[in-house]
Structures are given as structure tokens and as C-alpha cells.
Structure 1
Amino acid sequence: MAVIDILPADGKVVAEGPVGCSVEVCDDDFRHLDIGLPPEILRLKDAGYLTQAVAACDRLLKQNPDPSFAACVRAERYRMIETPLHFSVSRDRAIEMIREEWPEFTDKQFDDLIDRKRIDWRFIDGELFVLDNFLDSLRVYPKEVPGLRPDPTDSIALRNQMLEEMETQGGLSRTITLKACVSVPGALEGEAVRAWLPVAAACRQQSQIEILDMTPEGVIAPANALARTASWVSSTDRSFSVIYRYQIDAAYHDIYGGALPAHPCMDTSLPEDISEDRPHIAFTPYLQQLTERVVDGLEDQLDRARAIYDYLTLHIDYRYQPPYLLLGSIADDCAHSLRGDCGVMALTFITMCRIAGVPARWQSGLYVAPDSVGPHDWAEFYTPQTGWLNADVSFGSSARRMGEEWRRRHYFGNLDPWRMVANSRFQAGFEPVFDGMREDPYDNQMGEVSVDGRGCRRREMLRSVELIEMFEVPFSD
């Protein structure tokens, strides 16, 4: 690769730390994060002395610790190297950026936004840095930052019209055609490039999936793959694309009004739909206490799931997040901070449902509006009287923030036909297996690439997804 700050070694990523020590790290290392760092390294990390903390990790790894402990240290070390790349805007620069749009903005207003947790930040070597997309996060709350330009993407009226039609008609169906692309312009001649792009998977909502066109010699994973992809291996191609079509059916049931599906599915939940999946779906003491309080006195599984959804949508505020590999115990941290994005909220709902004895699982892919397409995550849950249903906590939280109670209720038990489902389990592996470390070791919505066995970072890839066509087809529940 022409742009390299992480170099290849034996099919794994090699992270070049500030002290120049190379350490292998892979996706599976992130499954051991909950083991935790030694207290002396954790103190350095929490204080933001990342250079010293990485050096301490290097010294520890040279002592050949227990394999699972070593995996945790490698993952934590990599997270510390990545942190300054995403928390890259200094306090002074952040204030300057806001003043470019809002000249009257003051230092005190910035500190107030920090105090109210509207801006995500980290201390790095004694200085406060904020997340590189902090302005986008602030635009979610236009009343609090009236001097900033509003978010240019606004399909609220179109979305609400679609949801009203869905509720009136009992459901909607769409046939959608998408084109996904990924390229690695920095790959050098002779380097082996492998690419994976997400495609629509067979699931409860999706059917009639067709691959219409793709870069030659691609391989399509099985229709029911947990993270379905189109993939390629090439020493000459540097750009890859796939065009696919699918039908998505979105039934509507007024769960709050007692209108349940007439023909609930048979129980197809699995043991993993009710168990921990550490480190992020973890039954921590606080989550157990919180869940017990939220579902107290409720025996019915549907009532429990609804109580959890109500608690989360009424209390959690939306916040743009850094890459998930930088986050700690995602569900537990969300429950403590009451902040999160779509995936963070989905994982918190899943975790609390499982603690409450309600089977729940992950779904993710794309939100496909007529005027924009982007990554999105949500959840599924199972009750005996309904079968599997969906819950979109982040959309419910957004509806509460905008004072649209009807829409908040809609997203418990229902979604909409503006979706593409590619993934049905958090931290699912690829088929065929990824040969380095993924840019996102937990999910796949925009695609991944490796070059000579080294996973590429986001800044090394060009990725896009384009809506080619969407049209309505008759809905049948």
C-alpha cells in the first residue's frame, strides 16, 4: 500500500505504536476486552498518557502472559493507538470550527456542551481532544446550538408519510436495487487484494434476493450467512462492486394497542439469543439491577420487552460514536451514560431483554431512504404470542426527542420498508474468513478490504452505496 501506518506480518495486522514496537492484533483479540488491563496501565490510559500506556503494554507482552490476557492487552494497545486518529480536534480548534458558523459562540458555551455530554472527548497526553465528527453530533440538537447550520439531509415529511401509509394499510413492501462499491487506490502492483461487500441476506423480512451484476470472479456467501457478503481475491483489481435487488416486507402491528400478529412464528430462538456475548453483551451487575427494576412486576415477555424499550427510548439521547473498537463494554457504558447511537442502543436493548428472559438478537445493514442511504443497526426480540418482532431504539429515541409519540410507539414491534439486512449477529465472521483485522471487527455495513493479509483502515478505502431503484409492490402479511 502507498499509505501505510500499520504494516503486514503473517496475515495479521501489525500496529506501529508510538515507541516503534510492532505487535500482532486480530479481530478475535477484541473478544477478550473484558479481562481488563493491569491497574498501572489502566491508570495511564484513563489519564490519557497513551504513549506511556502503549510502552507498558509492550513490556507486558514481552513477558508472554496467559493467551487470553495477552489478547486483551493487544486489543487495548491497538485501541490506544487508534484513539488519537479519531479524537483529533483540540479544544481551541473545536471552538474555532463552531465560530466559523456561529461567530458569537463562547468558550463557556463550549464547556456547557461538554458538561451536558453533547460533545464526546478524551484526554490525550494532558490535552482535551474531541471526536472528529463532533459538529455532526451537535446538529442533532438544533435548539441547543441555534447558530450552527442545520443538518442538510431532511426527509422527515417523506418518512412520516410512509409510516402513516404503513400503519393505515397494515404494512408496506418495497423492491430495492442497490450498488455497493469499495476500492483501495493505494494498493501497489502485485499486492494481493481481498475485498468483502455486504449484500442482502435471507431473513424474516427479506426475500427474492438477486445478484444483478458484480466485479468478475466474485463469491457470494450463503443466503443465510450471519454477515452476508460478496467477496473477491485479486492481484490486479483495486476496485470492486456489486449490484443486487431484494424485496423487503414490513408488517405493521399496533403492539401498544394490543394488535398482535395473527399467526406468530414457531420458536426459532437459539441458546445464544438468551445468553451473554461478551464483552459487549454482558450481564453486568448494574445492567442486572437496572433490568430488574425496569421489568419489576411484569411476567409476560412482551410486557417486559416493551418496558425495556420504553425505558431506553425515554432516557437515552442520541450521540455520534467513535468507531466501536474504541468503546468499552458497550451496553453497560450506555446504561451508565444514557448516550449512544443506533448500534449502542440496539445492543443495550438486546442485553437487557436477555437478562429479562426475552430472546433478542442483532440486525444491521442499511437505512435506504429515497434521498439517502446509510448504515443502521436495530434489534429483534421474540415472545411466544408474537414470534420475532423488531425494535429500533434509536429511531424511538429520536421520535421522543421530536415530540412524536406515535412514531416512538411505531418502532416497538415494527420497522419500515426502507431497510437492507446484511447482518444477523454482532461480531459475526465472514465467509470466506477475513485474513487480517477488519476496520470494524464487530459489524459490516460498508465493506472491508485486506492487502497482503493486512486489514485496511477506513482512511485507506473508498466506499459507497447507491440507491439504483426503489418501487412499491403489493404487501401481503
Structure 2
Amino acid sequence: PYDTASTLYKTYTAERTPHILFTPRLKELADSITHGAETPVDVLRSVYRFITATYPWASALEYSTIANIPEYVMQNRKGDCGQVGLLLIAMLRYKGIPARWQSGWMMHPGEVNLHDWAEVYLEGTGWIPCDPSFGRGDPLQHPAGRDFFMSGIDSYRFYVNSDYSGGFFPEKKFPRSETVDFQRGEVETASRNLYFNQWRYKMEVTYR
């Protein structure tokens, strides 16, 4: 059982505006798909399998333009990596399982790109990675392949954030380009913010 009095438990099972909210739709859906699940692992498996089987990947609006990302996924029945990740986090928190955001880069040979996933806390085990986006389909071409990403990820990851919408130090003078995620940095001049299409970045990976 979890130590429900611990700071960790209270922090990572709490609601957090605007995206981790226990809305009526989220509670009804989470209760339905976890009916009969007896342990935290059972709950995690039920939520993970439902999300990976139900919501196909789709490119999305800028996160900062969406009022509540999990609600967006449930309503539109699709989502990109960070969107289904936030839905998983919100559902697990509602069910009393600590979960948090993690994001950064995936650095697979030939496919270096931004990516988001989640971490789930299991008492006696600690934080484990969970990537519902990679669990969609059959990534390992094996009947049990998609479940690998329920409690593990590949080694081609570079993580930048362990939460979303974190503050900057030093703080920006002007509004952020992206209010939710942060993987590539942000740039501003003395007079204005520079949006992502107004500057360039490059990530190079050497494999040995």
C-alpha cells in the first residue's frame, strides 16, 4: 500500500490546473475501464491498454492553445505523445496512483525528435517509465510488445523535464512560446519573444 501521508503521494496524486483535473468525464471513464482492477499494477495496465488501443496518434494544436489536454483527447479520440501522456497521468492520479510528466528527446538512429512520456510511482519499486504513445500498435512486432512500454522504455531517451509548465530561471520577460512543454529552449530579445519559427536549433547524436 502507498504511504498516503507522504509528500510524494500527496503531490503526485493531486489535481493541477489546467490539465490535470478530475472532470466528470475523466472520472466516469477511468472508473469504467478500471472496474475490477485490484492492485496499482492492475489499474495501470487497464488505463495503459485502454489508451493505447483507443486513441491513435495525430498531430495536434499547440498545447498552449488547448484549455484541458486530457479532455481534448477524450473528446476528439486522438492525440499526440504528450496529450495521451497527460490523459494517462490524470487518470492514474484520480485512481490514487502517483504519476508525473516526463519529456525530452527520443534519439533513435534516423529519428531524433521531441517526445513526451510519463512516470508512474509504485510503492516498493519507485518511479517507472510509461510511454503510452510508443505502446500504440505493436512496436516490437510481438503479441506482448506493446506492454513493454507500460513499465519500461528504450535507452534512446534524453529527458529534459520531470513536470510540465515549469518555471524558468532566469525568468523570461515576455510570454512563453509554449506554456506546457519545454524541450528545445526558448529565445527572446531585449524587445520581444521569438517564436520557434524565428530561430533555429539542431540536435546531433553520435552513436558508438
TM-score scaled by length of structure 2: 0.91
Q: Is 1:470–2:195 an aligned residue pair?
A: no
Counterpart-to-counterpart distance in 2, 1:328 and 1:381? 24
Give 1:274 deviation, angstroms: 0.7
The answer on 1:284 being equivalent to 2:18 is no
Whether 2:207 is the aligned partner of 1:452: answer: no
Change (3 A) 1:270 1:464: farther
SS in 1 for 2:182: coil
For residue 334 of structure 1, give the secondary structure of its aligned residue in structure 2: helix
* 1:428 maps to which of 137, 144, 166: 166
Aligned-pair CA distance for 1:403? 6.4
- Give the Cα–Cα distance (whole angstroms) in 2 for the partners of residues 366 and 422 of structure 1: 8
Structure that is richer in strand per residue = 1
**Structure 1 counterpart of 2:144, from 389, 402, 406:** 406
Q: Could you tell me how far apart the structure 1 residues matched to 2:151 and 2:38 are?
A: 18
Q: Does 1:347 align with 2:100?
A: no
SS at match of 1:463: coil
Q: Using a 3 Å threshold, how does the CA distance of structure 1 residues 296 and 385 change in structure 2: closer, same or farther?
A: farther
Closer, same or farther: CA 453–380 of 1 in aligned 2, 3 Å: farther
Match of 2:69 among 311, 314, 330: 330
**Secondary structure at the residue paired with 1:408?**
helix
Bigger CA radius of gyration: 1
Q: Matches of residues 4-403 of structure 1 in structure 2 within 5 Å? A: 269-399=8-138
User: Equivalents in 2 of 1:386, 1:308: separation in Å?
Assistant: 19
Provide, for residues 303-339 of structure 1, a one-character-per-residue CA deviation record: whole Å limited to 9, x for no partner. Answer: 1111100110111110011211122310112122220
- Residue in 2 aligned with 1:73? none
- Offset at residue 454 of structure 1 (A): 2.3
Aligned-residue offset at 1:286: 0.4
Note if contact 1:319-1:340 (Cα within 8 Å) is conserved in structure 2: yes
Question: Matched residue of 1:410: which SS?
Answer: helix
Q: Evaluate the alpha carbon distance shift between residue 459 and residue 407 of structure 1 in structure 2; reply closer, same or farther with a 3 A threshold.
A: same
Distance in structure 2 (CA, Å) of the matches to 1:422 and 1:457 = 20
Question: What percent of counterpart residues are identical?
Answer: 32
Q: CA deviation at 1:376?
A: 0.2
Provide, for residues 99-131 of structure 1, a one-character-per-residue CA deviation record: whole Å limited to 9, x for no partner.
xxxxxxxxxxxxxxxxxxxxxxxxxxxxxxxxx
User: Counterpart amino acid of 1:351?
Assistant: A
Aligned residue identity for 2:23 = T
Gaps of 5+ in 2: 1-5
Give the TM-score taking structure 1 as reference length. 0.41
Q: CA deviation at 1:449?
A: 0.3
Counterparts of 1:381 and 1:305, CA distance in 2 = 9
CA distance in structure 2 between the aligned counterparts of 1:425 and 1:379, rounded to whole angstroms: 9
Q: Secondary structure, in 3 states, of the residue corresponding to 1:317?
A: coil
What RMSD in Å do the two structures reach over aligned CA positions? 1.8
Structure 1: 5+ residue stretches without partners = 1-266, 472-477
Alignment deviations for residues 228-273 of structure 1 (CA, whole Å, 9 cap, x no partner): xxxxxxxxxxxxxxxxxxxxxxxxxxxxxxxxxxxxxxx8835221
**AA partner of residue 429 (structure 1):** G
Instruction: Give the CA deviation at 1:462.
Output: 1.2
Closer/same/farther in 2, CA of residues 453 and 435 from structure 1, 3 Å limit: farther
Aligned equivalent of 1:142: none
| Paired AA for residue 182 in structure 2 | N
Q: Secondary structure at the match of 1:331?
A: helix
